[in-house]
Amino acid sequence: MLILLLLVISQALALTKCHALKGGRDALLDCFAKLVDTNHDNSIVPSETTAFFKNEGRTTILFKMCDLNNDGKLTSADWTAPNACATNQHSIFRTCYECERAGWTVPTN
């Protein structure tokens, strides 16, 4: 029971940090550059997101939502377009939480 309580508290603290995320969606580019773009070529391909999320289903959803020009890779152009993905707060918080869980330090100041 204590372990469950500690897990719930740690997840609540992680969400609190993500709620205090400075820079919003644009700050998350740092997470993707450091943790997802493993070959540092300024684009993210499905194999990199699958390795990051450890879930092929999430990769499929991410690319359907975010690969605006359907070229099979995510670039800053896909991320910064007016109709880009992760423009609502729920998507930003969820992405932040996944990044933090993977070891990214959330910028809060």
Residue 35: what residue type? Answer: L
- Kindly list the structural domains of the chain, giving each domain's residue range(s) and its CATH number in brackets, ordered by start: 23-101 (1.10.238.10)
Residue 6's pLDDT band (cuts 50, 70, 90): very low
CA angle 94, 87, 107 (to 5 degrees): 55
Q: Which residues contact 46 (CB under 8 A, 6 or more apart)?
A: 59, 63, 72
Alpha carbons within 13 angstroms on the beta-carbon side of residue 75 total 9
Which pLDDT tens digit goes with each residue over 49-100?
Answer: 899 888 888 888 888 888 888 999 988 888 777 777 766 777 777 778 888 8
53-68: burial string, b at 16+ Cβ within 10 Å, e else = beeeeebeebbeebbe
pTM (whole model) above 0.85: no
